[in-house]
């Protein structure tokens, strides 16, 4: 296994949301790739130090420490009812605060309702996917509260309605009647709550936000929308990201996007973040999947950044 491009990856997913590797497998893979700082940022879930599986429990920070990896526990919160792909990575928070458990509960309810409506509309158009098939998750059963939209995209690919999950996502994204708006938290409110609970808020994959966003009946550019988040107190923006392996449709390369983010936001936010958005898609037959450490930040940058370096000492408390 070749070593990763970056030794710090601040954006990964596990079986606690829509990843295919368990938290233990992600930690072990990161260590094998030479990653030294790893953030587990499962979607809309309260992170937990202990992972339970098949009657056994694993202390994740202890496992990571033994493997030579500094582990950061976080979450990636899907925000903004009106605008797609506004995701905020939250790190270093007091996760026992009641706000996070209520967020997790509310998101689970809104997901279930909206995704079942989506399946109904897909079925009306001859794209037949059942809720039970989504829950089966290609032989890896999940609970209703853990269903993610990406799992519907994957079902579309597995059943031959799309070439892969990325194409399925674009099909849903570009078909107005499939745009089922589910209630999501306001991003400014998320930033406030993250700060109130002692954490930092980083905007994930900013160029997956539409070029023109509609908010409160007003059309604005992607940059104008991101500027609103900066004004709301955003701590960082994910500059280094695997756009070439996602549903991004724009004309810029991932390096050009990184250059744009740095040129426009370095100095306006404290963190120029980076992450692979690893999902272990290689287990699902995806060609050229994202890899841990493929995008990220260097250790020199991580430990030289006041907010990021503070996460390690907080995690060790």
Considering the domain boundaries, does residue 294 fall inside one?
yes
Considering the domain boundaries, does residue 78 fall inside one?
yes
What letter does residue 287 receive in the DSSP assignment? S
Question: Which residue(s) pair with 212 in the sheet?
Answer: 221
Which pLDDT belongs to residue 104? Answer: 95
Contact 37, 299 (CB under 8 A): yes
Name residues whose C-beta falls within 8 Å of residue 265's C-beta, 6 or more positions apart in sequence: 226, 230, 237, 239, 272
Which pLDDT belongs to residue 296? Answer: 99
- In tens, the pLDDT along 147-159 reads 989 999 999 999 9
How many whole angstroms from its chain centre is CA 47?
A: 13
In the chain, what is the greatest distance between 2 CA atoms, to the nearest angstrom? Answer: 54
Rg of the chain, C-alpha, whole Å = 19
What CATH number is given to the structural domain containing 94? 3.20.20.140
Profile the chain (317 residues) by mean pLDDT over runs of 10 residues: 95 95 98 98 96 91 98 97 94 98 94 95 97 90 86 94 92 92 94 99 97 88 97 99 94 98 98 98 90 99 98 84
Which pLDDT belongs to residue 219? Answer: 94
Cβ atoms within 10 Å of 195's Cβ, excluding its own: 15
As to burial, measured by CB atoms within 10 angstroms (0-12 exposed, 13-18 middle, 19+ buried), residue 108 is middle
Considering the domain boundaries, does residue 3 fall inside one?
no
Which pLDDT belongs to residue 139? Answer: 85
Considering the domain boundaries, does residue 269 fall inside one?
yes
Which pLDDT belongs to residue 253? Answer: 97
Q: What is the domain count for the chain?
A: 1
Helix, strand, or coil here: 33?
coil
Considering the domain boundaries, does residue 2 fall inside one?
no
Phi–psi pair at 115, nearest 5 degrees: -70, -35
Name residues whose C-beta falls within 8 Å of residue 302's C-beta, 6 or more positions apart in sequence: 8, 37, 308, 309
- In tens, the pLDDT along 174-201 reads 999 998 988 899 999 999 999 999 999 9
Question: Which residue(s) pair with 214 in the sheet?
Answer: 219
Phi–psi pair at 94, nearest 5 degrees: -85, 95
Which pLDDT belongs to residue 186? Answer: 96
Which pLDDT belongs to residue 263? Answer: 98
Considering the domain boundaries, does residue 14 fall inside one?
yes
Considering the domain boundaries, does residue 145 fall inside one?
yes
Which pLDDT belongs to residue 60? Answer: 98
Q: Distance between CA 127 and CA 2 in Å, rounded?
A: 40
What letter does residue 124 receive in the DSSP assignment? H
Residue in 228, 307, 233 with CA at minimum distance from that of residue 272: 307
Considering the domain boundaries, does residue 1 fall inside one?
no
Handedness of CA 6, 12, 15, 18 (dihedral sign): negative
Phi–psi pair at 148, nearest 5 degrees: -120, 155
Residue in 53, 54, 50 with CA at minimum distance from that of residue 62: 50
Which residues span the domain enclosing 21? 8-315
Which pLDDT belongs to residue 309? Answer: 97
Cβ atoms within 10 Å of 8's Cβ, excluding its own: 25
């Amino acid at each position: 296994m070749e070593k990763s491009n970056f030794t710090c990856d601040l954006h990964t997913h596990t079986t606690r949301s829509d990843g295919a590797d368990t938290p233990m497998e992600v930690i072990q893979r990161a260590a094998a790739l030479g990653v030294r700082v790893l953030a587990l940022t499962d979607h809309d879930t309260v992170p937990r130090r202990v992972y339970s599986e098949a009657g056994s429990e694993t202390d994740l920070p202890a496992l990571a420490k033994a493997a030579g990896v500094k582990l950061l526990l976080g979450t990636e919160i899907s925000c903004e009812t009106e605008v797609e792909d506004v995701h905020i990575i939250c790190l270093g928070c007091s996760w026992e605060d009641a706000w996070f458990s209520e967020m997790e509960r509310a998101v689970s309810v809104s997901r279930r309702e909206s995704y079942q409506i989506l399946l109904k509309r897909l079925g009306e158009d001859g794209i037949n996917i059942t809720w039970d098939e989504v829950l089966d998750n290609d032989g890896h059963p999940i609970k209703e509260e853990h269903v993610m939209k990406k799992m519907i995209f994957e079902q579309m690919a597995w059943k031959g309605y799309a070439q892969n999950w990325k194409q399925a996502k674009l099909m849903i994204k570009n078909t107005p009647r499939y745009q089922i708006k589910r209630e999501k938290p306001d991003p400014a409110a998320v930033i406030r709550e993250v700060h109130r609970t002692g954490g930092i808020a980083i905007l994930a994959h900013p160029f997956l936000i539409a070029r023109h966003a509609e908010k409160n009946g007003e059309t604005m550019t992607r940059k104008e929308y991101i500027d609103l988040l900066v004004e709301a107190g955003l701590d960082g923006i994910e500059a280094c990201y695997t756009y070439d392996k996602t549903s991004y449709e724009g004309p810029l390369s991932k390096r050009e996007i990184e250059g744009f983010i740095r040129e426009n936001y370095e100095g306006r936010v404290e963190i120029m973040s980076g992450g692979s958005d690893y999902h272990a898609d290689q287990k699902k037959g995806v060609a050229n999947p994202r890899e841990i450490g493929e995008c990220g930040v260097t250790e020199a940058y991580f430990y030289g950044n006041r907010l990021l370096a503070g996460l390690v000492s907080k995690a060790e408390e």
